[in-house]
Amino acid sequence: MSEPSGTIKIMHRLAEFERNREAILHAYSQIGILELRLRSKVPTALAEAKPKQENWFENLRLNEKGVEDLKRARQQKPIFPEDMLSLSFWRYLLSNRHYGDLWLPNLHKAFPKVESPKSHGTFKAIDQAMNSSLRLRNKIAHYNLDELKSIEHSVKKTEWLIQIMGD
């Protein structure tokens, strides 16, 4: 009697996870470090740029999901909502659509160890690395292990982001 195909698929994924356990755990820990740094560095950079505003998130141009995420975070933790915001929120703030309104005036300061922080090339590299880190996080979190062929490349991009953010 043969096993149902779903069971075989799960067994295959478990075996794949076991083979790559160390790399997956390392990748996820780097994603966690990145997210913690973003929660600290991005609000600080935004707050320093507009000291008269009460909150770092005032007047941000957000999409509908960003507005909802921020609203939920403020309900969960009113004083420090950044602690409740996901990697995708930070990725959105560091995406190409915010080069002129956030990156040039403020957000480049969250990456003090990057060369030529205001150059579009630097910003594009950070945008691409953030995208790679978010995709890596999602693949690991949702156990899409078959798609982790580029794990080393994505981890290097994540580690680069952590390094250029400094302490």
Q: Whole-angstrom Cα distance, residue 88 to residue 152?
A: 21
Q: Is residue 8, in this structure, part of any structural domain at all?
A: no
Q: Whole-angstrom Cα distance, residue 65 to residue 167?
A: 30
Q: Is residue 41, in this structure, part of any structural domain at all?
A: yes
Overall pTM surpassing 0.85 (yes/no): yes
Q: Is residue 99, in this structure, part of any structural domain at all?
A: yes
* pLDDT recorded at residue 4: 63
* pLDDT recorded at residue 71: 97
Q: Is residue 38, in this structure, part of any structural domain at all?
A: yes
Please list the helix, strand and coil fractions of the chain in percent, rounded to the nearest 5, in that order.
75, 0, 25
End-to-end C-alpha distance for the chain, whole angstroms: 58
Structural domain count of the chain: 1
Q: Is residue 126, in this structure, part of any structural domain at all?
A: yes
Q: Is residue 6, in this structure, part of any structural domain at all?
A: no
Q: Whole-angstrom Cα distance, residue 80 to residue 100?
A: 26
pLDDT in tens, 106-130: 999 999 999 999 999 999 999 999 9
Q: Is residue 32, in this structure, part of any structural domain at all?
A: yes
Query: Between 16 and 166, where is the model more confident?
Result: 166
Identify the domain containing residue 89 by its residue range: 21-165
Query: Out of 17-21, 41-45, 71-75, which region has the weakest mean confidence (pLDDT)?
Result: 17-21
The vertex-165 CA angle with 159 and 167, nearest 5°, equals 100
